Structure 1
Amino acid sequence: MRRDLAFSPLVPWEVVAGMGALALVVVALAAWRGLPGWWLRALAGVALIAALAGPALRVAEEEGLSDLVVLAVDASASNRLDGRDARTAGAAAALEEALEDRADVVRVDVADDPGDGGTLLGGALSRAVAELPAGRIAGVIALTDGQVADPLAVPSVDAPFHVLLTGERDDWDRRLVVRGAPAYAILGEEVVLEVEVVDEGPVPEGVAGSAEVAMSVDGAEPVTGLVRPGEVLRLPVVLPHGGRNVIRFETPGLEGETTDRNNAAIVQMTGVRDRLRVLLVSGEPHPGTRTWRNLLKSDSQVDLVHFTILRPPGKEDGVPVDELSLIAFPTRELFLEKVEEFDLIIFDRYQRRGILPDSYLASVADYVREGGAVLVAAGPDFATASSLYYSPLGEVLPGAPTSVVLEEAFRPEVTEIGGRHPVTDGLAPVGEAAWGRWGRLVDVSPVDGQTVMAGPGERPLLQLSRVGEGRVALLASDHAWLWDRGVDGGGPQMELLRRLAHWLMKEPELEEEALTAQAEGQRMVITRRTLREEPPGDVLVTGPDGEVVAVPLEEVSPGVFQGRYDAPELGLYRLEEGGIVAVFGLGPPAPREFERTLATDAVLGAAAEASGGAVRPIEGGLPQVREVRPGRAAFGRGWIGITPREAAVTTGLTITPLGAPWLWLLVAGMLVLGAWLLEGRRT
């Protein structure tokens, strides 16, 4: 039961204060003049103020509430290493038993952040404290290894915050760190990556020597190097292909270290081309020439060399040769000496006229076999005896001319296999003529490769082929420019030619036989693209721990199959299906939980000190729990303290007025009268 004085004023408190000040002035004046009734006047002023303030006696009946202690238990991956989970469980049970008679324990289990954000113990404590009455919290205790990702989120409460560390003094660990790896690298240029091996904790003798570091790109044969812990190893790497390249670094695990999960690191770098060098060879001027130039010159990364034949050697028009060209065109240098420097060579309506000898064209064919790319945009000349097909370049072309040229309007269509090929996939429904008409088609007979677009009578229009290490495309018409002009509705000319050029230059996203993966949180979305008629089998997924799981695929579009795999952990995964192997890094191979694994007071020490709490290891035994008064030290040797709150809830309330206002006014009047009588007799 609690008693106190309450007031219910008849007028605003400002008026009461003014009346009190006036009464004080009157009493002071009477005392200064030596009037004997000054004290009666003071009592009258008090009675007057009481009449205005309305004093009452308030009696509250209260029921005591128990104190609350928040116990945060770190259940993250780093706190399960080296027996820490068992020590944590034992300490949590002991603390709950020790606090059983003193407070109610509110337990908060803190697991790994699913987004690889580390141990978010501060946020978990903030949410728990926000749901509890602040006046009942007597203390906060955290059982953790101290490796917390959000120490600034630890809530500020009017109670001590203690941190009990679960690690051991002789814990040590070795980890691998990659410093300053770029996200992009230029193909063909060497990039130097810096790797450091870091030893933490009391490292045993004989371990601090040189460490071996192995580097592999996309699962290829690793390259090794030696480095002393604490020193930086510089490893050069040249990306083998465009797009995403997965580079893995690893140092062998050692006996006795806390974990070997941080002995590896992954860098995912995207390979890009510095400049695309394209050689455009135009056999004769025609409206499509400007289309090719506009397409290639619209990309600032393309270096275009345009070789145009304005007049055949046998044509006599009286114009001197030195007036047709300002400089001698370096044909030998381009087609023999530096042909391998081009990323793509385009022959646009070119025919043999003796300008480029067969030795030059044979050099281009060898360039294709060794990894180059050639696109032939055929005109009527391709069906004649001067056709490129009858040159050494014809050995790598996917179609042979039949000497027939169809001069009739037709609408290009995507073939069935073209609906699965990434060059034409999604441009139009298979077999439907949805685009503007073209007016000419050179009839060719397929020799190799795939026909992805067709003209009238299902005649090949666009053929794609792989030759050796290179690629060749044959477009059996010179009317693609009609789409660019919007004739008869036009078509996706720019997108088609862009995809075609990128496929020829081996861009990974346009591979027709590909196995890729994308991350959706910790779920892996596996995509298999294929041109085969039969569906692919299950994808064999090898996890970081070596376990192999078969993931079934379902067709989502023609030639595209997908499967989903909920990965049990982050790390490096190997995918394999139909002889195609891919490497995919799902997050880092050493998640944030394993970047630093040694117990430490450096992260949460400031929060504990600010609250008056302490950081103590539990290796030598769990500290005792004591009750301390607010403002007193909350920790000492072998013990930690909680602050009893003595909170209570009011179950009943009684208010009794201390006299009616008229009674206080009557008393005030009698006191004033008494002062007057006393002072009157003295005079």
Structure 2
Amino acid sequence: MNGMSIIFAPLLPWPVIAGAGVVAVVLLALALWRGLKGWALRALAALVLLAAIAQPSLQREQTAPLSNIVLLIDDRSSSQKLSDRVAQTDTALTRLQAQLDAMPNVETRRITVPDGADNAGTELGSTLAEALAAEPRARVAGALMVTDGQAHDAQLAPDLPAPLQVLLTGKRSDWDRRILIETAPSFGIIGEETDIRLKVEDMGNVPASAGGTADLTISIDGKDPKSYTVRTDRDLELPLTLTHGGQNVVQFTLSPTDGELTDRNNVATVQINGVRDRLRVLLVSGQPHAGERTWRNLLKSDAGVDLVHFTILRPPEKQDGVPVTELSLIAFPTQELFVDKIDEFDLIIFDRYGARGILPSAYFDNIKDYVERGGAILVAAGPEFATVESLYQTSLGDIMPARPTGRVMSESFLPRPTDLGLRHPVTAGLEGAPAPEGEQDTTAEKDGPHWGHWLRQIELTNPTGEVVMSGAEGKPLLVLSREGEGRVALLASDQAWLWDRGYDGGGPQLELLRRIAHWEMKEPELEEEALYAEIDPGALSMRIIRRTMEDTAPPVTVTLPDGSTQEVPLTETAPGRFTARWTAPEAGLYRLKDGDLERVVAMGPASPREFEQTIASGDPLSAVVEASNGGVTRLEDGVPTIREVRAGRPTSGRGWIGITPRGATATTDIRVQPLLPAWAWLILAALLTVGAWLIEGRNRRGSGGDKGGPTAA
């Protein structure tokens, strides 16, 4: 195709040329006023000079037509695999491609859309934007999208220069049922009901046989499932009771119903952290001493602890003659504390307490029963523990993890974790810990934190529990044991307060005592034998952690959502701590098992975003379809034929869809040729000027002869 046009390359700016034109017009007006006969030639001469300055050229363009581009988008996300949508998609793409190939001057760009990364869903909008950006807009004649219409980023779709035709897979009779968690708490109080609001939602053309009810099963950590029959399409509030601290994985499962598209959205999981309402601690101090405030400060600093503290200031044997009515003391409520309300306490601490007749022997029997039923006691022993007033001489001696010899070692010593203590969560990893007795101490006392010395210890023998710290002469310093359902801790010194005061450099007094108390209250993170996982945010990978008191740990068995299992070997990364990094093949609920230890872990959403909305619909893309003058067609009615339509005309109808040819062209050759050479413009201007002068000169001579010539006789 050829095209021709005139272009200008002026020697002077256009305003100067325009000014010269104005001057020429004024001169021509003067010539007309004076009646000069050559004014027309003078005007032509001026015009030629102005044209010469503008330098007009003739431009010839050689153009070639460009083909129209059609974007053919193939949705291959997970929701497109439901029912017979894969067959529908394959058939439609084959026929559409054949029609486009048969159309003259049409090129096809085929784009496949998989599942979005990190459970982003179907990214049709961003895919369309990227495809359009890669092509010249002037050549795009349309976009054909074979999809179920469930675009999760429709707001990112661009403004199209041509119609978008959405070809919907699926059937009008499709229906599905899903479970939707509306509200769920992040934390729940152990032993109290926690409400979760959810809805069982029916979508699509629901048959009457579905009945409007569904069978729902609820389980915590995969144990003790409970079944309910619930109404669909209604907000439901279901009560749950958490039985243990730490992470609780609550799973909701709908029984599959005949005819629904998929059961992948019939499962939902919620992770709730179980916490105690308030930990109630009873602290009984036998007599005031320097370390008494250490325990009080420790327990009062924890907002989750309710502390009841009694100090025995006036034992029965004290007789000083002061009337009781004049004392500002209260009687020790032994009956209320150790009989009536003992089960309300999570921990009882005896700090340098001696059995001096304040508590009858029956009360100690009651405390022993309290421990065996699941309670906990902590004994911080002072010199009285080595005497006949020792708690070991009461019925509590039956559950004490070690026996006092009666010797009080009043000498400086360095507390040390034992080999067992390096693995036990109560003492493992404490900052600045020295090496166990008899091993080379690598602690750099001058360069970093280190433990200071204590000055007194009660000698213990015959330990029946776990000795996690040793003291003077390598004797047991901290012994932990389980008794029945409860726990007992025995600290054979009342000198922990020296660390708090910074004596000899101090030590991790607050962290040690906090760990002892929380271990006794059965906090999950301080269990000796534990199996748990740390999930990497935004990824289907986790770090499996096995804590054990043994020297080795067997592989962990991982049960996948489909029921298959894998063995994951562990590597020791710290004493008593074995870990492994493992990547899950898909989102879902995974069960970790090692012997009697089990842990349920939710990797990603139990129901991926692809299955939140499974009914084929053009609604998510309706805005961009309408803006582009496109249409939505169901493939259930057959694959439509493709027509070429002019811009602005309807682009879809019964059994057909349209694309709009753009008529784009490409320039293959450009030639520029001056209308006249410069010398020709000058000659032409000169001839016109001379012609005007000659005409005007002849006219003047003719006029002069008539007026001054001879007269006949």
Scaled to the shorter chain, the TM-score interval is: over 0.9
Cα distance, 1:628–1:378 mapped onto 2, change above 3 Å: same
Encode CA deviations 1:427-482: one digit per residue, 9 max, x unaligned.
13652474111112222235433222222343222222222222222211111111
Q: Which residue of 2 aligns with 1:419?
A: 422
What is the CA deviation profile of residues 150-176 of structure 1, one whole-angstrom value per residue up to 9, with x for unaligned ones? 101112231222211111111110111
Query: 1:92: which partner in 2?
Result: 93
* Pairing 1:654–2:655 present: no
Q: 1:530-679 alignment to 2 at 5 Å?
A: 530-533=548-551, 535-660=552-677, 663-664=680-681
Tell me how far apart the structure 2 counterparts of residues 458 and 536 of structure 1 sit (CA, whole Å): 29
Q: Structure 2: how far apart are the matches of 1:109 and 1:368?
A: 65
| Aligned CA distance change for structure 1 residues 620 and 478 (closer, same or farther; 3 Å) | same
Going from structure 1 to structure 2, the CA distance change for 1:114 and 1:657 (only over 3 Å counts) comes to same
Distance in 1 separating the partners of 2:370 and 2:390: 20
3-state SS, counterpart of residue 670 of structure 2: strand
Quick one: distance in 2 between partners of 1:643 and 1:78? 31
Partner of 1:409: helix, strand, or coil? coil
TM-score by length of 1: 0.92
Q: Residue 51 of structure 1 aligns with which residue?
A: 52
Secondary structure of residue in 1 paired with 2:336: helix
Q: Which residue of 1 aligns with 2:706?
A: none
Deviation per residue, 1:271-299 (Å, 9 max, x gap): 22332322211111111112112222222
Q: Is the 8 A contact 1:78 1:597 kept in 2?
A: yes
Judged with a 3 Å threshold, the aligned counterparts in structure 2 of structure 1 residues 139 and 430 are, in CA distance, closer, same or farther, namely farther
**How many Å separate the matches in 2 of 1:459 and 1:197?**
63
In the alignment, the residues of structure 2 paired with residue 488 and residue 308 of structure 1 have an alpha-carbon distance, to the nearest angstrom, of: 29
Q: Cα distance, 1:357 vs. partner?
A: 2.4
Q: What secondary structure, in the 3-state scheme, does the structure 1 residue paired with 2:274 have? A: strand
Q: Contact conserved, 1:247 with 1:267, CA < 8 A, in 2?
A: yes
Q: Which residue of 1 aligns with 2:485?
A: 469
- 2:434 and 2:451 in contact (8 A); partners too: no
Distance 1:198 1:32 in 2: 95
1:514 maps to 2:530: yes
Amino acid at match of 1:208: G
Give the match for residue 495 of structure 2.
479
Helix, strand or coil at the partner of 1:287: coil
Structure 2 unaligned residues grouped into runs of 5+ = 444-449, 704-713
Q: Does 1:439 align with 2:455?
A: yes
Secondary structure of the equivalent of 1:206?
helix
Write the deviation string for residues 391-433 of structure 1: whole angstroms up to 9, x where unpaired.
2223332222122222221222122222222222211365247
Q: Contact 1:208–1:228 at 8 Å: present in 2 too?
A: no
Distance verdict in 2 for CA 1:166–1:13, change over 3 Å: farther
CA distance in 1 between counterparts of 2:47 and 2:271 reads 84
Greater alpha carbon shift after TM alignment, 211-220 vs 297-306: 297-306
Shift of 1:499: 2.2
Matched, 1:245 2:261: no
CA contact (8 A) 1:123 1:150 kept: yes
Indicate which of 273, 276, 289 corresponds to 1:273: 276
| Corresponding residue of 1:350 | 353
* CA distances 1:189-236 after superposition (whole Å, capped 9, x unpaired): 211222321111112222124212111111121122221211233221
Tell me if the contact between 2:76 and 2:112 (Cα under 8 Å) persists in the aligned partners.
yes
Which residue of structure 2 aligns with residue 451 of structure 1?
A: 467
Q: CA deviation at 1:636?
A: 2.5
Closer/same/farther in 2, CA of residues 349 and 170 from structure 1, 3 Å limit: same
CA distances 1:283-319 after superposition (whole Å, capped 9, x unpaired): 1111111211222222233222111112332123444
Q: How many residues align?
A: 682
**C-alpha separation in 2, matches of 1:160 and 1:28:** 60
Cα offset for 1:483? 1.1
Which letter maps to 1:311? R
For the structure 1 residues 308 and 611, does the alpha-carbon distance in structure 2 shift closer, same or farther, using more than 3 Å as the test?
same
Please say if residues 446 and 460 of structure 1, whose CA atoms lie closer than 8 Å, have aligned partners that are also in contact: no
| 1:527 corresponding residue in structure 2 | 545
Task: Please list every run of 5 or more consecutive structure 1 residues that lacks an aligned counterpart in the other structure.
Answer: none
User: What does 1:356-375 align with in structure 2 at a 5 Å threshold?
Assistant: 356-375=359-378
Partner of 2:383: 380
Q: Distance in 2 between matches of 1:665 and 1:677?
A: 18
Cα distance 1:285–1:164, how it changes in 2: closer, same or farther (>3 A)? Answer: same
CA separation of 1:522/1:678 partners in 2, compared to 1, >3 Å: closer, same or farther?
farther
User: Equivalents in 2 of 1:260, 1:198: separation in Å?
Assistant: 13
Kindly tell me: are residues 159 and 311 of structure 1, through their superposed partners in 2, closer, same or farther at Cα, counting changes over 3 Å? same
Contact 1:372 1:470 survives alignment (8 Å): yes
> Secondary structure at 1:182's aligned position in 2?
coil
Q: Distance between the aligned counterparts of 2:132 and 2:399, measured in 1?
A: 74
Give yes or no for the alignment of 1:204 onto 2:222: no
How far off is 1:63 after superposition?
4.6
Contact 2:463 2:479 in 1 (8 A): no
Distance in structure 2 (CA, Å) of the matches to 1:509 and 1:33: 114
Contact 2:218 2:227 in 1 (8 A): yes
Aligned equivalents of 1:158, 1:28: Cα separation in 2: 54
Kept in 2, the 8 Å contact 1:277–1:304? The answer is yes
Distance 1:649 1:542, change over 3 A: same
Q: Deviations over 1:542-588 (max 9, x none)?
A: 22222222222222222222233332221111221111111111122
1:259 is paired with a residue whose SS is coil
SS in 1 for 2:262: coil
Residue in structure 1 matched with residue 67 of structure 2 by the alignment: 66
Provide the aligned C-alpha RMSD in A: 2.9
The 2-side partners of 1:372 and 1:37 are apart by 128
- Corresponding position of 1:172: 175
Aligned to 2:710: none
CA shift in 2, pair 1:634/1:358, >3 Å: same
User: Does 2:12 correspond to 1:5?
Assistant: no
Instruction: Return the alpha-carbon distance in structure 2 between the equivalents of residues 317 and 424 of structure 1.
Output: 45
When residues 82 and 675 of structure 1 are mapped into structure 2, their CA distance, relative to the original with a 3 A threshold, is farther
Counterpart pick for 1:502 among 496, 508, 518: 518
Write the letter of the residue equivalent to 1:492: P
Q: Check the 8 A contact 2:171/2:616 in 1, yes or no.
A: yes
CA shift digits 1:122-158 (9 cap, x unpaired): 2222223323333332222221111111101112231
Q: 3-state DSSP class of the match of 2:84? A: helix
Give the secondary structure class of the aligned counterpart of 1:333.
helix
User: Is 1:141 paired with 2:144?
Assistant: yes
Shift of 1:343: 2.5
Cα distance change on mapping 1:245 and 1:385 into 2, 3 Å: same
Matched residue type, 2:529: E
Change (3 A) 1:327 1:92: same
Corresponding residue for residue 120 of structure 1:
123
| Aligned-partner SS, 1:126 | helix
**What is aligned with 2:77?**
76
**2:301 corresponds to which residue?**
298
**After alignment, is 38-47 or 419-428 more displaced?**
38-47
Between the aligned partners of 2:40 and 2:384, the Cα distance in structure 1 is 130
Residues 69-120 of structure 1 deviation map (CA, whole Å, 9 limit, x = unaligned): 2222111111111121222122223222222244332222221123112112
| 1:628–1:354 Cα change, 3 Å | same
Distance in 2, matches of 1:265 and 1:377, equals: 48
Give the CA deviation at 1:325.
Answer: 3.5
CA deviations 1:339-372 (Å, max 9, x no partner) are 2222322211111112222333333322222222
Q: Which amino acid aligns with 1:559?
A: G
